[in-house]
Amino acid sequence: MVDVANGTYDIVILLGDATNGHDQMGIYLEGTLVETRNTMASTWVTRHYRTSIADGQLTLTLDDLGGIDGNVVINALKIYGGPAGAPGVLRRATYRRRSRACKR
């Protein structure tokens, strides 16, 4: 979760791994599954999403949805927009998985 002002945001996520592929990575924004993504080793994928925030917090959840690999990998998160629509980049965020949270 990231504290943000209510408004509309463009979210950019970079996924991938230099040594391992990852399958069935679930990406949720505001509690809704927006995509299930696979990546191969040495492959990075940039995904773009738009979401509206009404509770003062952007909630991004990454969840393993099965498959061979049990990991979900995120390399970068950028958040643009907000109530005034002016671009800005958030450089620090908290990522939460079902079993643990880790700060980046």
What is the C-alpha separation between 90 and 88, in angstroms, rounded? 7
Contact 27, 55 (CB under 8 A): no
Contact yes or no for 57/1 (Cβ under 8 A): yes
| Contacts of residue 16, Cβ cutoff 8 Å, sequence gap at least 6 | 39, 42, 43, 44, 45, 73, 75
Report the DSSP beta bridge partners of residue 103: 94
Domain residue extents for the chain: 2-98
- Reported pTM: 0.77
Backbone phi, psi, residue 36, to 5°: -115, 125
Residues 64-76: tens digit of each pLDDT: 999 899 999 999 9
Residue type, 92: R
> What pLDDT is stored for residue 84 in this prediction?
61
Q: What is the pLDDT of residues 10-35, one digit of tens each?
A: 999 999 999 999 999 999 999 999 99
Residue 58: per-residue pLDDT: 94
Q: Which residues face 21 on adjacent strands?
A: none
The mean per-residue pLDDT over the stretch 79-88 comes to: 67
* Band (82; pLDDT cuts 50, 70, 90): confident
